[in-house]
Structure 1
Amino acid sequence: MVFNVLQLLLLLAGTALAGMNKTGTLCTVTPTGGKDDTPDIMAAFKQCGQDGQIELVEGDYTIAKVMDVKNLKNCDISIRGKLTWNDDINYWTKNSIGVDYAQRSTAWRFGGDTFSIRGHGQALFFGNGQKWYDVNKNGSNMAGRPISLTLWEAKNVFIDGITWRQSQFWSTRRHTFVAHSQNVTMTNLDMNATSSSQYNTVNTDGFDSWNSKDIVIKNWVVTCGDDCISVKGNSANIYVKNVTCHRSGAMCIGSMGNGVTETVDDVVFEDITAIDSSNAAWIKTYPGNGHVKNVTFRNINFQNVNQPIYVSPCIYSYSNCDSSRLKISDITWENITGTSRYNVAAGIYCSKAAPCTGLKFSGIDIKPKNGGTAKVLCSNMNSDSGLSCTGTCPSGWKQQLSGNA
């Protein structure tokens, strides 16, 4: 009898230590130890998501369901544990939350006004991405493959101190996706999506913005299989500083203008390092309507980058380039230095229907890593740019080179 009572007491103690507990306006979540922790996390958001605090204490959490967290208000979220999304691909592809952009979806969506998500350098989001990479088999966009974390109709947001490993898609293809949002600051984030098989981590962007403005990104380290930081259509007033990108597309405007009129205004990328990447400071649009205006790439240093500076009005199809009326103007490249993988430092082709104007270059020092002189190819752009073009850029110039030009 004594033994049974002790067992009961231990069971009750274990129950008290796991799950969700609310004290005043504070909701504390403790991992259950292998069971799905999603219901407890969602209960915390329901009870403390407005004028409250939510704390996920240290430990290992299992995430087996999508989480849609809207209408947050005056809420501080603290995450100190490891969150592992299970690898039930069948569930995620059928249930991930649509985000309107290019038929993409997400596993965790946040929305509301005035909230913070702090990881304290302890929070780890593990997406079990390897199974996704292997099932996808280098395919570009797998339906239902979820973005890890999405801000959707969010205002006045602060995110800090979170680490991602093996993300499923872009922030998420992405680690993080910011859409229809304003006044967002994201600092001290670390993202790494690396495949251990023969299949690549296709479409694992670090960050993408869309229909959003007033965003600050600082102190990131990203290793991924696609764009590191990408500013997409209808984004404005974006500031990116002190980011290191490995094996990525580094700093990018686009893609944008695919069948819709889109604009990008007032973007600054500065103090950026790109290592073993495809591009460093570039702009990619579809043949369409809209504009890219007032963008600065400053203090971009790189090693072994395929084609550091690149501009295209006809990305991916590389056709109908001269039909695009999406105007690219007032773009500055300043202090762009490093080594190119091949003998092309820049490939800039602007549409004949909307030539680039106000392009400015200074402090450009790009050397092929295997020696020789780098080529700078330019077409349909202003002649007073300060860039010493060595030749014309052919229409439909590819983003990726496979050897010297």
Structure 2
Amino acid sequence: MLKLALLLCFIYFNGIAQGGNFNVMENGAKADGKTDDAKAFEATWKAACESSGPATILIPKGTYLLGAVKFHGPCKAVPRITIKMDGYLKADTNLNKFPSGDWVTFAWTNGLTVSGTGTFDGQGAAIWHLNDCQQNEKCKLLPVNLKFVSANNTVVNGITSLNSKNFHFGVVESHKFRVTNLKIVAPGDSPNTDGMHVERCSDVTIQNVQIATGDDCISLGQGLSNVLISSITCGPGHGISIGSLGKYPGEKDVTGLIIRDSTITGTMNGVRIKSWANSPSPSAVSNVTFENIVLKEVSNPIIIDQLYCPSGRCANQVPSLVKISDVSFKNIRGTYLSDVAVTLHCSLGFPCQGLKFQDINLQYRGGRAAAASSCMNVKAVYSGTQVPGPCVA
């Protein structure tokens, strides 16, 4: 009986520990850059996800052509799944291969790590001419390179995202999400290629990321709390933005954001908060800090814009219902190119309150004399160095 009990215990614990390595090449991937390897990738994920122990998915060096790939949980693997990504993944340029609208999607996972030296190449240059969303309200959104949905306790480290057709990274409805040591690259004129878009998330950390793209390096949407962004190298692109906010009914508040220790070079904007002028329902932005940021040859260094309407076709320019309060700008320094260094255009309905400016030193590099600042509906406190001088409402 004792021997039988020991045998049963061995079998039980061995089963619980089952996991190990799962190689995409062993599940039919060709890595020839011509054959669609999506089914092989999904088969490898399925095997790892259904294992009862920690699992590692191996994507070795090689060139893999992929249509849409779904890595969906929940998974049995405990405590986590690690994807070791050292290959070069190329997105198909045939949009019919992306029926769900995204390229690589991770959804309903807990304890996921994606790391390695590999590259996700969206091959967007062949598709960017189809991006007409600024002119066409019924446009079809192009695929996002990597989409994370309800991906809790996630780590993304070391990989490169190249020439996405749309956003490089989309992170939504996720808790405890950490990003480090990434490279995100697209030309400065590539449309809508935001480096990272994050919304409806909590406890997010984005650190040591190099971003060169055609839109916002990082855009932070509605429903965010406890977000730290640091050591970002941004440019070209449109800078780092909170928003746009207030476009849709029922948007959640944004609170507890820190953006610090970063360099922004040659971008359209520096640090920005933007909300739609005709927002359909109230929301709020509060407890936000921009600190220790170097701006180099940036057109518009500091912006709060509550009259945001990129298409120019916003009917009934009613005041924004997004309330902005307790926002600090500390040790922001560098050079700028536009006529105005600091633009604070807040809502008539909800004036900006509790704004703090400490040690601002922005030197003009334009071709003619520059206006200092422009503001409306603002209550702010200034301390330390103020170049240009404080804004007068």
Q: 1:252 Cα deviation (Å)? A: 1.0
CA distance in 1, matches of 2:315, 2:324: 18
Instruction: Give the AA of the match of 1:55.
Output: L
* Deviations 1:222-267, CA, capped at 9 Å, x for gaps: 1111111111000111100100111212221001111323311000
Among 235, 242, 255, the residue aligned to 2:224: 235
In structure 2, the partner of 1:82 is 88
Q: Which moved more, 1:148-157 or 1:312-321?
A: 312-321
Which secondary structure does the structure 1 equivalent of 2:308 belong to?
coil
Q: Which residue of 1 aligns with 2:13?
A: none
Distance 1:320 1:302, change over 3 A: farther
1:291 to 284, 293, 299: 284
**Equivalent position of 1:43 in the other structure:** 43
Code of the aligned partner of 2:283: G
Aligned match of 1:254 in 243, 246, 249? 243
| Equivalent position amino acid for 2:21 in 1 | L
What is the 5 A alignment of 1:176-255?
A: 176-194=169-187, 200-255=189-244
Structure 1 residue 382: deviation in Å? 1.0
Per-residue deviation at 1:338? Answer: 1.3
Partner of 2:375 in structure 1?
A: 378
CA distance in 1, matches of 2:222, 2:135: 20
CA distance in structure 1 between the partners assigned to 2:214 and 2:90 by the alignment: 21
Number of the residue aligned with 2:61: 58
Deviation at 1:340, TM superposition (A): 1.1
Distance in 1 between the 2:352 and 2:132 partners? Answer: 38
Task: Provide closer, same or farther for how the CA distance between residues 66 and 115 of structure 1 changes in structure 2, counting only shifts above 3 A.
Answer: closer
How much has 1:383 moved relative to structure 2? 4.3
Q: Does 55-64 or 311-320 show the bigger shift? A: 311-320
Distance 1:358 1:53, change over 3 A: same
- In the TM superposition, 1:295-306 aligns within 5 A as 295-306=288-299
> In the alignment, is residue 264 of structure 1 matched against residue 260 of structure 2?
no
Is contact 2:19-2:48 (8 Å) kept? no
- Residues 193-250 of structure 1: CA deviation (Å, up to 9, x unaligned): 127xxxx311100111111110000010111111111110001111001001112122
2:155 aligns with 158
Distance 1:382 1:391 in 2: 10
Unpaired runs of at least 5, structure 2:
1-17
CA RMSD of aligned residues (A): 2.1
**Contact 2:148–2:172 (CA under 8 A) maintained in structure 1:** yes
Question: In the alignment, is the contact (CA less than 8 A) between 1:138 and 1:202 conserved in 2?
Answer: no
| 1:137 positional shift | 6.5
Greater displacement, 213-222 / 284-293:
284-293
* Within-5 A mapping of 1:344-355: 344-355=340-351
Classify 1:76/1:355 alpha carbon distance in 2 versus 1 (closer, same or farther; 3 Å): same
CA contact (8 A) 2:68 2:104 kept: no
Q: TM-score, normalised by structure 2?
A: 0.84
Offset from partner CA, 1:40-93 (integer Å, 9 cap, x none):
11011100025322111111111023424232452111111100011112433x
Give the structure 1 partner of residue 3 of structure 2: none
1:227 alignment partner, SS class = coil
- Alignment correspondent of 1:389: 390
Q: Structure 1's 343 and 55: CA in aligned 2 closer, same or farther, altered over 3 A? A: same
Q: Which runs of 5+ in 1 are unaligned?
A: 1-22, 98-104, 393-405
Cα distance change of structure 1 residues 139 and 376 upon mapping to structure 2, 3 Å threshold: closer
Offset at 1:381? 1.1
Deviation at 1:164, TM superposition (A): 1.4
The question of whether the paired residues in 2 share the 8 Å contact of 1:256 and 1:262 is answered with no
Q: Is the 8 A contact 1:193 1:201 kept in 2?
A: yes
- The C-alpha deviation readout for 1:269-296, integer Å capped at 9, x for no partner, is 0111111101111100124310000111
Q: Relative to structure 1, is the Cα distance of residues 381 and 44 closer, same or farther in structure 2, using a 3 angstrom cutoff?
A: same
Listed one character per residue, the Cα deviations across residues 371-392 of structure 1 (whole Å, up to 9, x for unaligned) are 6455111211114344643555
Q: Could you report, residue by residue, the CA deviation over 1:324-383 in whole angstroms, capped at 9, with x for unpaired residues?
A: 221100000011111111221011011121111110001111121136455111211114
TM-score (norm 1): 0.81
Question: Following the alignment from structure 2 to structure 1, what is the Cα–Cα distance between the partners of residues 206 and 81?
Answer: 21
**Equivalent pair of 1:284/1:311 in contact (CA under 8 Å):** yes
SS in 2 for 1:46: helix
Q: CA deviation at 1:310?
A: 0.7
